[in-house]
Amino acid sequence: MIEEGTSFLTVNDLVVEYTSEGSVIHAVNGVSFSLERGKTFGLVGETGAGKTSIAKAILRILPDPPAKIRRGQILLEGEDILKLDEKAMRKIRGRKVSMIFQDPMTALNPIMKVGKQIAEVIKLHNKATNKQAEAEAAQMLELVGIPADRFNEFPHQFSGGMKQRVIIAMALACNPELLLADEPTTALDVTIQAQVLEMINKLKRELDTSMIMISHNLGVVAEICDDLAVIYAGEVVERGSKEAIFDRASHPYTQGLFAAVPTLDEEKERLAPISGLPPDPSNLPIGCHFHPRCPLADEQCKIEKIELREIESGHYCRCIKVAAMEN
């Protein structure tokens, strides 16, 4: 589905399932995408679409049980990390790939000094003495805009925005090549969000980090991503460059998302909600998973599994009702 070789990260046909009380939850159903070095790839979708499961699969931190990676490849510089043993994986985590978690209030250890928490990561991955690691941790704090003299404070002494910066400092401490950012600004106020997004953009430029940005906020994605995939019920329903998706959104779900959000850019008398609810992942509709909510759906959509098709160069859409575009 995706040509291998040139990409820094390639996710190929990834399938993740959770087993719970006898029923199987189909969280990720054959997701494929690739990311080039230094670029940012966005995963957009609503709660329960499977975005976080994809990120956790890349880091191999899905709780097993109940989660199982059933199928697929995750190629990091050509090497399938799903085949690595735990020991090799630990070398990758934090050092080569690291993650910024969504909730800064719960991701930090409440009884450990913030500086120490950053130093811990550095020590774990480098042959550094305590002193070196702490000096480096202090530098990281400065890098994310926190004065180094707050090294010895505890998380409760920090505001939400500052905690999120500490988490970012931690994720960046070992200079990872790939950063997985899971809704990094969702818990923050807009003016602080603007600060954090600007900081992430700056760090990305300076350190040439590749990034996967998970968000439900189309504005944040527009701000920070080069390419993106829209995820619905564990599947990529549309994928392409930011320009392709924002200018020529084609899948009815993507179009629905754009119509449903109020924006500052245009006035909408009335919002156009997507009718119905996201499907139950343990009992996905047959055929196109979106058909019960789709204004275009007909009998055909309820029968066959819909494949992702290229509708223009580099722009893919999983819908039989959408015709290929002509340039």
Partner 1 sequence: MSALVEVKNLKKYFETPRGMLHAVDDVSFSIETGKTMGIVGESGCGKSTLGRVIIHLLDSTDGNIYFEGKDITHANARQLRKLRENMKIIFQDPYSSLNPRLTVEQTIMEPLLISGKYSSKACSAEAERLMDMVGIDQRLRLAYPHELDGGRRQRVGIARALALNPRFIVCDEPVSALDVSIQAQVLNLLQDLQDQYELTYMFVTHDLSVVRHISDDISVMYLGVLVETCASKELFRHPLHPYTQALISAVPTIDIHNKKQRVILEGEITSPINPKPGCRFKKRCIYHTDQCDAPQQLEEILPNHFVACCRVREINQL
**Which of 52, 193 has the CB closer to partner 1?**
193
Asked if 242 touches partner 1 (CB under 8 A), the answer is yes
**Smallest gap, in angstroms, from Cβ of residue 208 to partner 1?**
22
- AA identity, residue 112: M
Q: How many residues bind partner 1 (CB under 8 A)?
A: 44
Residue spans of alpha helices (H) in 101-189 = 114-125, 130-143, 160-172
Q: 44 by DSSP, 3-state: which?
A: strand
Q: What's phi and psi for 138, nearest 5 deg?
A: -60, -40
Helix (H) or strand (E) holding 9: strand 9-20
Q: Which of 295, 297, 292, 286 is nearest to 320 (CA)?
A: 297
Nearest approach in angstroms of CB 267 to partner 1 is: 8
Q: Which of 21, 262, 299, 327 binds partner 1 (CB under 8 A)?
A: 262
Among 68, 148, 219, 312, binds partner 1 (CB under 8 A): 219
216 binds partner 1 (CB under 8 A): yes
Question: Residue 84 or 222: which CB sits closer to partner 1?
Answer: 222
Among 126, 139, 217, 282, binds partner 1 (CB under 8 A): 217
Residues listed for the chain: 327
Output the smallest distance, CB 39 to partner 1, in A.
16
**Is residue 246 a contact residue for partner 1 (CB under 8 A)?**
yes
38 interacts with partner 1 by CB under 8 A? no
Residue number with CB closer to partner 1 (122 or 141): 141
Determine which helix (DSSP H) or strand (DSSP E) holds 87, and give its type and residue range: helix 86-92
Site for partner 1, residues 136 to 195, rule: CB under 8 A: 159-162, 189-195
The amino acid at residue 187 is A
What single letter denotes the amino acid at residue 127? K
Cα–Cα distance measured from residue 327 to residue 321, given in angstroms and rounded to the nearest whole number: 19
192 vs 322 by CB, closer to partner 1:
192
**Of the candidates 98, 100, 117, 118, which has an alpha carbon nearest to the alpha carbon of residue 109?**
117
Residue 25 bridge partners (DSSP): 18
By C-alpha distance, which of 215, 107, 102 is closest to 158?
A: 107
Residue from the set 222, 284, 296, 322 that interacts with partner 1 by CB under 8 A = 222
Supply the DSSP symbol for 324.
P
Q: Which residues bind partner 1 (CB under 8 A)?
A: 46-47, 159-162, 189-195, 197-198, 216-220, 222-223, 242-243, 246-247, 256-265, 268, 270-274, 277-278
